Chain A
Amino acid sequence: MEAGQATAPRQSAQRLPSWLAGLLPLVVLGAAIAIFVALDAPGLQRNGVPIEEIAVEKTVLRPGEIELAVRNDGPDAVQISQVTVNDAFTAFTQTGDEIGRLGASTVTVDYPWIEGQAYEVALVTATGGTTATAIDVAAETPETGAGFLGLMALVGIYVGVIPVAIGMLWLPWIRGIDPRYVQFLLALTVGLLAFLGVDALLEGTDFAAQGSQAFGGAALVYLGAAVAYLALVGIDGKLRGRTQRERDAMDSASLLNPSEGAGTGAWRLAFLVALGIGLHNLGEGLAIGSSYAIGSLALGATLIVGFALHNTTEGLAIIAPVARGEGGEMGGGMRLRRLVGLGLLAGLPAVLGAWIGASAFNPSLAAFMFGLGAGAIAQVIVQIAPSVRDSAGRLLHPLAVSGLIAGVGLMYATGLLVSL
């Protein structure tokens, strides 16, 4: 009897193609939802009045005009009926009359704003609710043409590529120093990265608070962090696997493939550090680009110099893992190309970020990208940590602790320059 009962379901399952059996619950779910909606949620009654939540994702100022990118953040449709600027009703147009859940609309307000003044634009909905957005310092938003993208690329190169490259020039020096101090430098790198990771988390959380909460808000930062962390674990695992299989193979055509040759462990680490820093610089470029696009950032020499000093330390972080002279059997040209590749990997995303930030900024996207940076950095720290251990296997030995503190301190100190 028992055997018969057990085989019966197996037989029926065999009659259905397995992909169809997998789809069955989804089909039933879809039908259930359709019936539920068609019957207008039987047994349930709405309690209370519609909830209106509007997020202003972007503000663009043109002469005589203020444009707001608006998203409906709440569960119910919203209609914007009037607009006030600094407590005065003002003429406006909008792209959509009624904004559905998560729907977007562009509200263009006709207003003779004055450069340098502060404004508050309030959207008045059909129910009389108001959503206010502040323009702290009015300034014309730059047009995102080719010239502007070129400028953003230049800024990205100034604050990302060049400083990282300069920082990597410490390589010959650290190859000559006492190996004990290399441990100190690796600890310093962990300190630098920890600072960047915390910084990315905080910045991401700030952006998340500005963006549409319906997209997840601060959860986007942690989601991004988890995705990047897991992705780097995956990449790392793949690199290690290849190292095993192709230990003797040389693939000199690849610039960034750190899997080949002796001493690949160190290069793999350097690659991951560069990748993590690159993801962080993506977020940093985005912040710079968006700030510049809305006119709140003056690209003065002091700011650029500050960023350059700040990010030079990132170059040091990339080369610290290869300080022990591994990969020495590689040709000088190849080593150089590999270093250049790592530098670009860490620095170039700043350009990409600046472009995105300047042209297609969205706070929720920015939050997610900062999350990616934070997660990548966390993974890199986990990767580097073992190299910091001393001969006794201790992680937080005095030299490592002083390196960590020095790293955080260095980032903090150079970060102050950016505030100027």
Chain B
Amino acid sequence: MKFGEDKISRRKLLGTAAGATAALPLLHESLPHQGVHDQFARAAGEEHGGGGAASAAHKGAGHRGTVGRVDPRVNGFDPQEILRDYDRGKVVRDGGRAVREFELVAEDREIEVAPGVKFAAWTYNGRVPGPTLRATEGERVRIKFVNGSKHPHTIHFHGIHRDLSDGIPGVGVGNIEPGGSTVYEFEAFPFGLHLYHCHSTPLAEHIAKGLYGAFIIDPKKGRPEADELVMVMNGFDTNFDLANEIYAVNTVAFAYHDQPIQVKRGQLVRIYLVNILEFDLLNSFHTHANFFDYYPTGTKLEPRDFTDTVILGQGERGILELRFPYTGKYMFHAHVSEFADLGWMGFFEVTD
């Protein structure tokens, strides 16, 4: 409420008229969150129960979610393609040794994160998330980084390596200024699912604007044949209130809700799940009508868990393996329900 309690105002005493029509320029995170969630939970319950004011009319039962579509051709990248797009680089010989080379270019770019909602992103290679880099355990990896952005950036890889290649300001080559470039080089170790992101400060800003991607190091023996999907759970603070307005997997809100991910019945599906969400401490992943084997960080070949919901903190990731026994449409979403309502919700469409 924006009106002080100390004013002598007869109208205010009439009731709460003032607040009801007031255009409060408040940031949506400024309401007590718990209360809002409780209200939504009750509202949803009423909706399903068929009770309440809404059931009297046909209105209000319509679809939840964003209105319209994001055109991937305009956006420059397609969440459907990001799912199965792996950048394995190029293997070159260097002094008798095989080196896997990648190139990442930082680029400022406006992207559409929900239909009609633009976001001034910082990207690696023009897309958010950046390319999914893929190498095999023990390989020499060399990443050429070109900073085409207007701001200084780095690339920091998760893994085990020397400090000089850690990609943080003040150590090794440090910040790469606009127009500059550098090369990061290290052994791909340990195997598992990792990530890379910019480590310039302010850190939260450099990550939240889109400078991140998945980094897969396959075990030497490989993993069983599967339909492999990359899902980077992210979010976007579009109004600079240090909270996300939009949540998604691979950037575009409701992308897999409006266009389900196609998978085959009975086939092993492997999901490389990375949580790079900023501003919210936790994210989660929940499959409907199915369970999955869960390999935290993918660093062991035996699953830790057989479950349908996992919770991931910031920077946490894991590998999920599952098979769909039935055909049909199966939902997956963050079980942090607020995130689901704000874009992090999708479907698998299982066919024979």
Binding between chains A and B:
yes
Instruction: Give the CA-CA distance A130 to B116 in the complex, in Å.
Output: 13
Q: B117 near A: Cβ within 8 Å?
A: yes
Q: A64 near B: Cβ within 8 Å?
A: yes
User: Which residues from 75 to 89 on chain A have a C-beta closer than 8 Å to any C-beta of chain B?
Assistant: 79, 81-84, 86-89
**How many A residues have CB within 8 A of the partner chain?**
73
User: Which residues from 361 to 406 on chain A have a C-beta closer than 8 Å to any C-beta of chain B?
Assistant: 361, 363
Encoded as 1 (CB less than 8 Å from any B CB) or 0, chain A from 44 to 64 comes to 000000000111111100111
Q: A88-B40, A128-B238, A130-B28 are in contact. Are A112 and B16 (CB under 8 A)?
A: no
- Select from chain B the residue with minimum beta-carbon distance to A88: B341
Is the beta-carbon distance between A126 and B28 smaller than 8 angstroms?
A: no
**How many B residues have CB within 8 A of the partner chain?**
70
Is the beta-carbon distance between A88 and B64 smaller than 8 angstroms?
A: yes
Q: A63-B60, A88-B342, A91-B65 are in contact. Are A129 and B14 (CB under 8 A)?
A: no
Is the beta-carbon distance between A64 and B116 smaller than 8 angstroms?
A: no
Q: A288 near B: Cβ within 8 Å?
A: yes
Q: B42: which A residues are within 8 A, CB to CB?
A: 114, 117
Q: A127 near B: Cβ within 8 Å?
A: yes
Identify which of B60, B113, B117, B119 contacts A111 (C-beta below 8 A).
Answer: B60
Q: A120-B31, A126-B117, A296-B17 are in contact. Are A131 and B65 (CB under 8 A)?
A: no
- Select from chain B the residue with minimum beta-carbon distance to A294: B20
Is the beta-carbon distance between B57 and A119 smaller than 8 angstroms?
A: no
Identify which of A64, A131, A284 contacts B54 (C-beta below 8 A).
Answer: A64
Q: A114: which B residues are within 8 A, CB to CB?
A: 42-43, 46, 52-54
Is the beta-carbon distance between B245 and A124 smaller than 8 angstroms?
A: yes
Is the beta-carbon distance between A57 and B23 smaller than 8 angstroms?
A: yes
Q: B133 near A: Cβ within 8 Å?
A: no
Is the beta-carbon distance between A63 and B39 smaller than 8 angstroms?
A: no
Instruction: Give the CA-CA distance A125 to B238 in the complex, in Å.
Output: 9
Identify which of B2, B11, B57 contacts A287 (C-beta below 8 A).
Answer: B11
Q: A418 near B: Cβ within 8 Å?
A: yes
List the one stretch of A133-141, A184-192, A261-269 in contact with chain B.
A133-141
Is the beta-carbon distance between B43 and A297 smaller than 8 angstroms?
A: no
Q: A63-B56, A82-B114, A113-B53 are in contact. Are A129 and B238 (CB under 8 A)?
A: yes
Q: A110: which B residues are within 8 A, CB to CB?
A: 59-60, 62-63
Q: A113-B54, A117-B39 are in contact. Are A133 and B23 (CB under 8 A)?
A: yes
Q: A88: which B residues are within 8 A, CB to CB?
A: 40, 64, 338, 341-342
Q: A92-B67, A124-B245 are in contact. Are A210 and B57 (CB under 8 A)?
A: no
Instruction: Give the CA-CA distance A125 to B25 in the complex, in Å.
Output: 13
Instruction: Give the CA-CA distance A64 to B53 in the complex, in Å.
Output: 7
Interface core residue of A91, A126, A132, A415 (most chain B CB under 10 Å): A132
Q: A58: which B residues are within 8 A, CB to CB?
A: 21
Q: B187 near A: Cβ within 8 Å?
A: no
User: Which residues from 55 to 88 on chain B have a C-beta closer than 8 Å to any C-beta of chain A?
Assistant: 56-68
Is the beta-carbon distance between A287 and B10 smaller than 8 angstroms?
A: yes
List the one stretch of A195-203, A221-229, A250-258, A331-339 in contact with chain B.
A195-203
Q: A118 near B: Cβ within 8 Å?
A: yes
Q: A86-B40, A115-B52, A206-B9 are in contact. Are A136 and B19 (CB under 8 A)?
A: yes
Q: A131: which B residues are within 8 A, CB to CB?
A: 23, 25
Identify which of B3, B36, B59, B115 contacts A82 (C-beta below 8 A).
Answer: B115
Is the beta-carbon distance between A64 and B57 smaller than 8 angstroms?
A: yes
Instruction: Give the CA-CA distance A131 to B18 in the complex, in Å.
Output: 17
Is the beta-carbon distance between A89 and B21 smaller than 8 angstroms?
A: no
Instruction: Give the CA-CA distance A62 to B57 in the complex, in Å.
Output: 9
User: Which residues from 234 to 254 on chain B have a C-beta closer than 8 Å to any C-beta of chain A?
Assistant: 236, 238-239, 241, 245-246, 253-254
Q: B56: which A residues are within 8 A, CB to CB?
A: 63-64
Q: A65 near B: Cβ within 8 Å?
A: yes
Is the beta-carbon distance between A91 and B62 smaller than 8 angstroms?
A: yes
Is the beta-carbon distance between B14 and A81 smaller than 8 angstroms?
A: no
B33 CB to nearest chain A CB (Å): 8
Q: B226: which A residues are within 8 A, CB to CB?
A: none
Is the beta-carbon distance between A296 and B14 smaller than 8 angstroms?
A: yes
Is the beta-carbon distance between B14 and A291 smaller than 8 angstroms?
A: yes
Q: A340 near B: Cβ within 8 Å?
A: no
Q: B12 near A: Cβ within 8 Å?
A: yes
Q: A89-B114, A129-B239, A134-B20 are in contact. Are A206 and B3 (CB under 8 A)?
A: yes
Q: List 9 A-B contacts (CB under 8 A).
A: A63-B59, A87-B37, A111-B60, A112-B54, A129-B239, A203-B9, A210-B18, A294-B17, A412-B8
Which B residues have a C-beta under 8 Å from some C-beta of A?
Answer: 1-3, 7-28, 31, 35-37, 39-40, 42-43, 46-47, 52-54, 56-68, 113-119, 236, 238-239, 241, 245-246, 253-254, 338, 341-343
Given contacts A88-B342, A114-B42, 19 further A-B contacts (CB under 8 A): A56-B21, A59-B21, A62-B57, A79-B116, A81-B116, A86-B43, A110-B59, A117-B43, A127-B238, A130-B28, A134-B22, A202-B8, A206-B11, A287-B10, A287-B11, A287-B17, A294-B20, A296-B15, A297-B14
Among all A-B residue pairs, the 8 with the closest Cβ atoms: A128-B238, A64-B60, A81-B116, A64-B59, A88-B341, A112-B54, A112-B60, A291-B17
